[in-house]
């Protein structure tokens, strides 16, 4: 019995037989495909996986028997306690051991249910953390904690609604806490959530969630963001890191706290981490984070080789995924067509294709001249597939070519599991088989078909010399071939009928399979699509007309939505807040998913909203009666003027109410405030006379200064007075 994120609880034939159903009854139900209420997942059955049945789709009598079977577990538990009491055993010890064993049995089922719920629901919380400015990995982590908190709150609400007495409620709450902590101790890495698993700290965390949600708080407010600022990771030297790793793999399975204690003691002896005479060792989280970073490889020293292989080494996929978006494959190869490029005719075009494995749908194709496969082109191709579908894959499979490291870093950032094809088994990739099917069914019939790739050796992999020569002579240009590959070939493949799939009759097209199958991942919110797969981020100035961007000779002007009074009020705040005309201060960033369509807009990393292209109105809108957009814009204009008047009036009223109103007005009316300096005035009459006489080689005492007339000038900056002689300057 296991939990599936799409179908819920599933049981095998063996589970049903344990519950009391016999082979004859089961065979009769399974044979009546049209009348049977037992839904089987036949596509999942294989040699190593038995046939499974969806519990929620079973008839009421089947579900009742299963529930009764679970209730018998409690009766057997009671029988065990009665026997222990009759034998004079330590009842408390027996009770503790039975309860602990029950928690251990429950663990894997609780983990499965939690993982399924979290994967299906965490995407609804990502927009809030995106707008808070977090990166993709942190957004996913916080969102999954929110999903876990919502699940826990739902369980608490169910217990409180179904149990009439406080005593029963408390008993079930204790059971919930115990089961949840036990599941998180081993399953939180698989679920990718970081919550405390210490009994006290977890209880405090759960109480915080329950009280916060009962108080009406949003989960995003309760699961608060921890700001960065921890510098401890940089304080571990290479020597100290090796000591930590050796303590971890020593063989006695030391917990992190013991490793920290021993490293702290060693550091005290060696004089590490001394600051101003004070001993400040590294923190618990520093040691824990370092171990977490390397535990996947170090685990080989703590586990058996078989256990390590099963839990840490990537495995082969033995069957196609059931749900769409569970697995995508991306691969690049030379397009098998002779095309003309820069005077050369041959296989000059490279095509990168993305397929969904469950539906065989060709999601998108990117092309490039030559045989290069840069990481940027590969990543942009995956982004294009996300934009087209509105989903991201749970797993992306790729070979380990030149673009692999860049693709891996991007996948880790956005929360996609990248599954590489190992050395020596790259041919096992489904995407390569699909590319071969496309070539065999479609590309082969192009006039310039050049034959299969150079490693193909089958009898049908080469064209005749005459066909090859004729194809080169009539080869189309690389641009024409690229247009056909990216559009027409995609449509041809996705609308062709697949006759057989995995050895079973199919009779459906990839488009039809895509529409009828359920998705492994949730539909992405628009903000998440923009974050993951924006075509380009344009940073432009905001003007009164909006924010204008240009692309390929086309202009697009984006403007806030103003269709409702609330939207008009928000637009008014945006235009009031952002200065216009300032080269940098007025710049907004527009994330373009598709040119001409709606786009999220940010100002200094703060979300302003989803904007659309500005609505243009007829020149004579009121005369023609086309006034809807006109009235919305006029309402925004009037709102801006009204709010500006209110602001001015509030400002003036604040001055009228200020005790220093007169002084402020006086200062506002005074010229050169703070730029004048008054100083003593000096009589420079003798100096002026001396200088004048010196110019004419006349002794100073020979000049009659008592009869000279002067003009008085005052320096406006210093206040000094100057006397300038205006007559009797020269009697000679």
Q: Predicted confidence band at 642 (pLDDT cuts at 50, 70, 90)?
A: very high
Token pair belonging to 186 = 């081993």
Q: Predicted confidence band at 684 (pLDDT cuts at 50, 70, 90)?
A: low
**CA distance linking residue 481 with residue 484, whole number of Å:** 5
Residues 6+ apart with CB under 8 A from 463: 449, 450, 451, 471
Quick count: other Cβ atoms within 10 Å of Cβ 291? Answer: 17
pLDDT higher at 541 or 12: 541
Q: How many residues does the chain have?
A: 732
| pTM assigned to the model | 0.50
Mean pLDDT lowest for which of 97-106, 398-407, 570-579, 707-716?
707-716
CA proximity to 524, closest of 114, 4, 124, 94:
124
In order of 91, 375, 586, the CA distances from 600 in angstroms are: 64, 26, 17
Q: Predicted confidence band at 23 (pLDDT cuts at 50, 70, 90)?
A: low
601-611 as b/e: b if 16+ CB within 10 A: bbbeeebbeeb
Token pair belonging to 92 = 């408390």
Mean pLDDT lowest for which of 335-339, 519-523, 561-565, 577-581?
577-581
pLDDT higher at 41 or 591: 591
Helix (H, G, I), strand (E, B) or coil at 665: helix
Rounded mean pLDDT of the chain?
A: 81
What per-residue confidence (pLDDT) applies to 72?
57
Gap between the terminal Cα atoms of the chain: 128
What per-residue confidence (pLDDT) applies to 37?
45
**CA distance linking residue 721 with residue 478, whole number of Å:** 85
* Contact call for residues 180 and 197 (beta carbons, < 8 A): no
Percent of the chain with pLDDT over 70: 76
- What confidence tens digit (pLDDT) does each residue in 46-94 have? 555 667 777 766 666 665 555 555 555 555 666 766 776 666 666 677 7
Residue 640 pLDDT > 80: yes
Q: Predicted confidence band at 608 (pLDDT cuts at 50, 70, 90)?
A: very high
**CA distance linking residue 69 with residue 17, whole number of Å:** 11
Strongest mean pLDDT among 162-166, 329-333, 388-392, 420-424: 388-392
Please give the radius of gyration of the chain, using alpha carbons only, rounded to the nearest integer.
39
**CA distance linking residue 357 with residue 347, whole number of Å:** 27
Residue 406 pLDDT > 90: yes
> 475: which DSSP letter?
P
Q: Predicted confidence band at 323 (pLDDT cuts at 50, 70, 90)?
A: very high
Mean pLDDT lowest for which of 126-130, 188-192, 393-397?
188-192
Mean pLDDT lowest for which of 17-31, 101-115, 511-525?
17-31
pLDDT higher at 595 or 452: 595
Strongest mean pLDDT among 137-146, 164-173, 351-360, 422-431: 351-360
Strongest mean pLDDT among 604-608, 665-669, 705-709: 604-608
- What confidence tens digit (pLDDT) does each residue in 151-207 have? 899 999 988 888 888 898 888 888 888 888 888 887 766 677 888 888 888 889 889
pLDDT higher at 659 or 691: 659
What per-residue confidence (pLDDT) applies to 423?
42
**CA distance linking residue 708 with residue 485, whole number of Å:** 101
CA proximity to 395, closest of 426, 419, 421:
419
99: number of CA atoms within 13 Å, CB side? 11
CA proximity to 392, closest of 43, 138, 5, 119:
119
- What confidence tens digit (pLDDT) does each residue in 247-268 have? 999 888 889 999 999 999 999 9
* Contact call for residues 542 and 578 (beta carbons, < 8 A): yes
What per-residue confidence (pLDDT) applies to 390?
94
Q: What is the DSSP string of 432-451?
A: HHHHHHHHHHTGGGSTTB--
What per-residue confidence (pLDDT) applies to 643?
93
Q: Predicted confidence band at 690 (pLDDT cuts at 50, 70, 90)?
A: low
- What confidence tens digit (pLDDT) does each residue in 269-303 have? 988 988 888 898 988 888 988 898 888 899 889 88
**CA distance linking residue 152 with residue 210, whole number of Å:** 8
> 139: which DSSP letter?
H
Provide mean pLDDT across the span 229-246. 75
Q: What is the DSSP string of 221-274?
A: HHSPPPPP---GGGG--HHHHHHHHHHHTSSS---HHHHHHHHHHHHHHHTTTE
Mean pLDDT lowest for which of 73-82, 117-126, 685-694, 698-707?
698-707
Token pair belonging to 636 = 């925004």
What per-residue confidence (pLDDT) applies to 707?
58
Residue 636 pLDDT > 90: yes
Token pair belonging to 36 = 């049977």
Provide mean pLDDT across the span 384-409. 92
Helix (H, G, I), strand (E, B) or coil at 198: coil
* Contact call for residues 509 and 494 (beta carbons, < 8 A): yes
Q: Predicted confidence band at 483 (pLDDT cuts at 50, 70, 90)?
A: very high
What per-residue confidence (pLDDT) applies to 732?
42
> 296: which DSSP letter?
H
- 136-162 vs 199-214: helix axis angle to the nearest 10? 80
| Chain-centre distance for alpha carbon 585 | 27
Q: Predicted confidence band at 42 (pLDDT cuts at 50, 70, 90)?
A: very low
Provide mean pLDDT across the span 16-42. 55
In order of 263, 264, 516, the CA distances from 258 in angstroms are: 9, 10, 53
Token pair belonging to 88 = 């004079």
């Amino acid at each position: 019995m296991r939990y599936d994120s799409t179908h819920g609880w599933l049981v095998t034939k063996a589970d049903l037989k344990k519950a009391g159903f016999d082979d004859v009854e089961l065979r009769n139900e399974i044979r009546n495909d049209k009348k049977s209420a037992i839904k089987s997942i036949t596509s999942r059955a294989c040699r190593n996986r038995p046939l499974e049945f969806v519990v929620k789709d079973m008839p009421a009598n089947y579900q009742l028997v299963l529930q009764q079977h679970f209730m018998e577990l409690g009766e057997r538990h009671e029988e065990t306690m009665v026997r222990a009491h009759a034998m004079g055993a330590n009842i408390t010890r027996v009770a503790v051991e039975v309860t602990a064993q029950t928690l251990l049995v429950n663990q894997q089922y609780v983990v499965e249910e939690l993982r399924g719920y979290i994967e299906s629901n965490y995407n609804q919380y990502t927009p809030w953390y995106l707008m808070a400015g977090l990166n993709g990995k942190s957004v996913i982590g916080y969102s999954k904690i929110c999903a876990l908190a919502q699940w826990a709150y739902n369980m608490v609400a169910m217990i409180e609604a179904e149990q009439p007495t406080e005593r029963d409620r408390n008993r079930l709450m204790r059971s919930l806490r115990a089961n949840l902590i036990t599941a998180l101790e081993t399953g939180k890495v698989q679920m990718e959530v970081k919550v405390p698993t210490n009994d006290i700290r977890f209880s405090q965390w759960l109480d915080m969630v329950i009280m916060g949600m009962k108080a009406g708080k949003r989960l995003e407010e309760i699961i608060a963001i921890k700001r960065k600022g921890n510098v401890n990771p940089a304080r571990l030297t290479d020597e100290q890191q090796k000591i930590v790793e050796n303590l971890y793999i020593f063989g006695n399975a030391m917990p992190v706290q013991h490793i920290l204690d021993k490293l702290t003691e060693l550091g005290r002896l060696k004089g590490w981490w001394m600051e101003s005479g004070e001993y400040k060792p590294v923190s618990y989280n520093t040691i824990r984070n370092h171990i977490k970073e390397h535990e996947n490889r170090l685990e080989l020293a703590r586990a058996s080789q078989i256990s390590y292989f099963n839990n840490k080494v990537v495995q082969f996929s033995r069957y196609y995924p059931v749900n769409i978006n569970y697995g995508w494959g991306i691969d690049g190869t030379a397009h098998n067509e002779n095309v003309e490029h820069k005077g050369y005719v041959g296989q000059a075009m490279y095509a990168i294709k993305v397929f969904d494995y469950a539906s065989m749908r060709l999601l998108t194709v990117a092309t490039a001249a030559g045989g290069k496969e840069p990481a940027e082109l590969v990543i942009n191709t995956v982004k294009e597939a996300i934009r087209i579908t509105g989903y991201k894959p749970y797993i992306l499979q790729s070979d380990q070519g030149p673009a692999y490291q860049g693709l891996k870093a991007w996948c880790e950032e956005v929360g996609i599991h990248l599954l590489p094809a190992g050395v020596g088994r790259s041919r096992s990739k489904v995407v390569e088989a699909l590319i071969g099917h496309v070539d065999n069914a479609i590309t082969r019939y192009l006039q310039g078909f050049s034959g299969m790739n150079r490693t193909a050796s089958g009898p049908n992999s080469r064209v005749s010399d005459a066909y090859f020569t004729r194809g080169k002579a009539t080869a189309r240009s690389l641009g024409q071939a690229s247009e056909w590959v990216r559009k027409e070939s995609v449509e041809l493949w996705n609308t062709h009928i697949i006759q057989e799939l995995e050895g079973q009759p199919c009779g459906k097209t990839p488009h039809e399979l895509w529409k009828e199958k359920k998705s492994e991942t949730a539909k992405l919110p628009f903000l998440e699509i923009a974050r993951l797969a924006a075509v380009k981020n344009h940073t432009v100035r905001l003007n009164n007309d909006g924010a204008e961007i240009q692309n390929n000779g086309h202009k697009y002007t984006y403007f806030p939505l103003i269709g409702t009074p609330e939207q008009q009020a928000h637009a008014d705040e945006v235009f009031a807040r952002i200065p216009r005309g300032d080269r940098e201060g007025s710049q907004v960033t527009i994330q373009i998913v598709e040119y001409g369509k709606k786009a999220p807009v940010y100002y200094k990393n703060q979300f302003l909203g989803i904007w659309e292209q500005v609505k243009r109105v007829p020149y004579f809108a009121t005369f023609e009666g086309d006034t809807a957009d006109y009235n919305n814009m006029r309402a925004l204009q009037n709102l801006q003027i009204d709010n500006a008047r209110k602001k001015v009036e509030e400002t003036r009223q604040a001055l009228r109410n200020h005790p220093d109103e007169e002084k402020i007005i006086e200062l506002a009316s005074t010229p050169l405030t703070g730029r004048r300096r008054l100083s003593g005035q000096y009589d420079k009459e003798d100096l002026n006379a001396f200088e004048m006489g010196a110019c004419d080689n006349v002794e100073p005492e020979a000049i009659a200064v008592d009869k000279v007339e002067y003009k008085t000038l005052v320096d406006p900056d210093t206040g000094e007075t100057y006397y300038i002689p205006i007559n009797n300057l020269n009697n000679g």
